[in-house]
Chain A
Amino acid sequence: MTLTLANHPITAFFAGPKTLLDGSRLQVDLEELRRYLLEDQRLESVDLEIVGPGDSCRVGYVFDIVEPRAKETGAGPDFPGILSPIAAAGQGTTHVLRGTAVAVVDGGQPGGERGYTSRRGGIAKILEMSGPPSQASSYGNLRHLVVVPHPHPEVARHSVLNALRLASVKASVYLARTAQGKTPDSTQVFDLDGAGEDGRKDLPRVAYIGQIHGHQHGTEVDENILYGGNTRGMLPVPLHPNEWLDGAVVVSYSWGARGLDTYFHQNHPIILDLYRLHEAKEITFAGVVATTSSGQLDELNRNCMVAAQIVKHTFKADGVIITKYAGGAPHSDMFETARLCEDLGIKTAIMVSDTAPDRRAESAALMNIPGVDAVVNVSEAADISWPAPAVETVIAGNPEVETLLADLKELPGVSVCGVTNNQGASRLQSIIY
């Protein structure tokens, strides 16, 4: 399976009479895009704005951030199971508009809807485009198309969320289709074929197990996570890493999904780094497993066992990296999977996230299992905040949030998209003093 990313760096992104890509200049006909998004009859209206690095602008609450990507004509499905019929992702050419993103705004209220609740009842995810918070975020230096869908009031909440998801991938593909047939600035080829070839037989085999959802938050029946499926009852699934990068996986709904965005499924930092090491012939990248953290003990034991067995017997891995969904409970599944892998003779490295409100190291050490001793500690920014600068523009999903964001005095680090990240992108580390 060979995936070619055709990279088109964008240096200017602006509204104009026709949607087109002219070299590195991306012009978008917002009216045409609006009509396309409003084909979804659940939506009453859609606000569209383009914001860029340094703009005095605050956006909230963010539903998801997606990188604009589109398959070359005939090369395969775009976001299969959501936008395209189900077919394997991860092969052929995908055009990527580098330096841009689609940020979709949710007009719902955090804490107001069951199963989609804010952890502390406070503010949810914010995109900040200026000042120190934007510099600390992976998204502050991107040019964003901000999409604010307004559903008809009678549409049920789960269906509203489904409409937001659909709008996110439609806008992403709509923008990137401007690159179809165009010569990219650069290409990246992702290919694991030849993993068994000579010259690799002495290399350690390394796999990745990533949680794509946490079932303590439940899912909606029409929630799209893996190939459009909602992951209920899902056992761990072995995937080709290219599928993960190429639209098979999007983030689940949750105001609590801190540090998870579809952008870093498409640019998954761990998968990309394992590819780097594979190409450098330091390892053989053996494969990836998508799993979930569980809501019940039987489910936990079953999922952890199956994931460890896949890595041992299907991937024949010597080492594995395991990461978790946002929050505390998913640590249990991650540690148990790591314990089982170590028992099978597979070396593990895992990534915990520290939310300790009292900033005591003792509170961050959630578990201790002999052998599970390679632990990276991502801070969830409990002790980071910035004074919120007055901004010229607030883009929000409803008037109450607009007022709240405009009057904000302080921006907690945990609420700024792209500061902390459970997919490996963050440079924020919890350090023990």
Chain B
Amino acid sequence: MRVVHYLNQFFGGIGGEEQAGLPPEIRPGAVGPGRLLEQVLGDGTQVVTTIICGDNYAAENVQEVTAMVTQQVKEAQAELFVAGPCFQAGRYGTAAGAVCAAVQEDLGIPAVTAMAGENPGVDLYRESIYIVDSGDDVSRMRDVLADMARLANKLAAQGVIGRPADEGYFSQGKLRSEFVENTAARRLTGMLLSKMRGEAFEAEVPIKSIEAVPAPPPVPDMSRATVAIVTDGGLVPKGNPDQIPRAFAQVWGAYSIDGMDSLQAGEYEVAHGGYDNRPVEQDPHRLVPVDVLRQMELDGLVGKLHPEFLSTTGNSNPLENSRRMGREMAARLIEAGVDSVILTST
């Protein structure tokens, strides 16, 4: 197997921080840790090319470096690309992640790197590439390279990659359904007993805090504010013109209420499979309260009701997709001069 290896100036044996501005250099064969890498990858493997690049140069010229590395890997006809291990070196880890992701994406060959958990390269690239957990102890170089080699050989052979903890790589945050030995009931009682006894247990979902949404500053004067209604309850005009699906919606719609005092039942329907739609279809104001807001507008309690409402379906929507639609909706409302939004859900 032909391998290309990426190193920074320090592990490439050129120098320390004073050499961090070094542009990429191409060396035939293995250099430094690459010699060990060759050994642990086993017979028939050869590091054909080593690319050494200064940390600052890579950080400041990411696109140039990734393009150059990808070209070199291609020319070398490599079947595997390895970067690092980078341990705690942040610029090195970030560059290694970038070149691995680029090689894998552009050339379709496996790419492996290794870093310590605190390395910023982990959070940036863990979802797209395999990053072996190196820990922060550089003296474990041989063990880390052995872990990388085991994973790399499996990837190159298109073998089945086991769970992160078993294979030693950082979780890529991907969900895979598997049939396991114990029923969910058994796992529940087992986990509860462990928790009650003060023993270790492991949750089957990521336990991490979801970012808090800071409260926006108050609207200084509602009687002068333009107010828009936005809903994720799926109210759409009859016929569902944007074909918003009943779950996993990728699209949202903007629907005119210009000059309307109320929404007529029968002219709207609900595209949302997560609740009993009947109460809203009987009276759309239960979800999109145009009637009350129009009255408040007449009474001078709000400045102006924005002449369209925005709608999508929140049902089973992935966070990433919800964030995108939220940004798109906010941009449209800001452009229209809306000061305040009433969000209704179900």
Measured CB to CB, the residues of A under 8 A from B are 114-115, 117-121, 136, 204, 206, 216-218, 256, 269-270, 272-274, 277, 282-283, 295, 318-321, 323, 327-329, 347-352, 354-365, 367-368, 373-379, 381-384, 413, 421, 423-433
Q: Which of B93-101, B142-150, B273-281, B331-339 contacts A (4 or more CB under 8 A)?
A: B273-281
The reply to whether B318 and A349 contact each other, CB–CB distance below 8 Å, is: no
Q: Are B320 and A429 in contact (CB under 8 A)?
A: no
Q: Is B157 an interface residue (CB 8 A)?
A: no
Q: Which of A349, A354, A426 contacts B192 (CB 8 A)?
A: A349
Cα distance A425–B320 when bound, in Å?
A: 31
A360→B318 contact, CB < 8 A = yes
Q: In the assembled complex, which residues on chain A have CB atoms less than 8 Å from the CB atom of B215?
A: none
B residues 167-211 with Cβ under 8 Å of A? 171-189, 191-196, 201, 203-210
Q: Which residues of B contact A (CB under 8 A)?
A: 161, 163-164, 171-189, 191-196, 201, 203-210, 245-248, 273-278, 281, 315-316, 318-321, 346
Residues of A within 8 A of B192 (CB): 206, 319-321, 347-349, 374
Given known pairs A361-B206, A429-B204, the reply for A283 and B273 (CB within 8 Å) is no
- Seed contacts A282-B193, A358-B320, A376-B184; 11 additional CB < 8 Å A-B pairs: A119-B247, A204-B196, A217-B276, A270-B189, A274-B189, A295-B276, A354-B205, A360-B319, A424-B184, A429-B178, A433-B161
Distance of B246 from chain A, by nearest CB (Å)? 6
CB pair B185 A378 closer than 8 Å: no
Q: Say whether B274 contacts A376, CB under 8 Å.
A: no
B236 to chain A, nearest CB (A): 15
* A374 close to B206 (CB less than 8 A): no
Asked whether, in the complex, the Cβ of B196 is within 8 Å of the Cβ of A318, the reply is: yes
* Pick from B172, B182, B203, B275: contact of A433, CB under 8 Å: B172
Nearest chain A CB to B298's CB is how many angstroms away?
Answer: 29
Interface pairs (29), CB distance under 8 Å: A114-B281, A118-B273, A119-B246, A204-B193, A204-B196, A270-B185, A270-B189, A273-B185, A277-B193, A282-B193, A319-B192, A321-B188, A327-B274, A329-B275, A349-B192, A349-B195, A354-B205, A355-B316, A356-B175, A357-B318, A363-B319, A375-B204, A376-B188, A376-B204, A381-B177, A427-B179, A429-B184, A432-B204, A432-B205
Query: For A368, what are the chain B residues with a Cβ–Cβ distance below 8 Å?
Result: 207-210
Q: Which residues of B contact A282 (CB under 8 A)?
A: 193
Residues on the B chain within 8 Å of A384, using CB: 177
Cβ B319 vs Cβ A433 within 8 A = no
**Docked-complex contact A378 and B184, CB < 8 angstroms:** yes
A433 touches B204 (CB 8 A): no
Q: Is the CB of B186 within 8 A of A136?
A: no
Considering the complex of A and B, which 7 residue pairs feature the smallest CB-CB distances, nearest first?
Answer: A424-B185, A269-B185, A218-B276, A377-B204, A379-B177, A349-B192, A363-B318
A273-B186, A321-B188 are known contacts. Are A216 and B175 too (CB-CB below 8 A)?
no
Contacts of B281 in A (CB 8 A): 114
Q: How far is the CB of B56 from chain A (nearest CB, A)?
A: 32
How far apart are the CA atoms of A261 and B314 in the complex, in Å? 27
Contacts of B278 on A, CB cut-off 8 Å? Answer: 114-115, 218
Q: Could you tell me the distance between the alpha carbons of A105 and B318 in the complex, rounded to whole angstroms? A: 33
Among A204, A358, A360, A431, the residue within 8 A (CB) of B178 is: A431
CA gap between A354 and B173 in the complex, in Å: 13
B312 to chain A, nearest CB (A): 15
Give Cα A328–Cα B274 distance, bound, in whole angstroms: 8
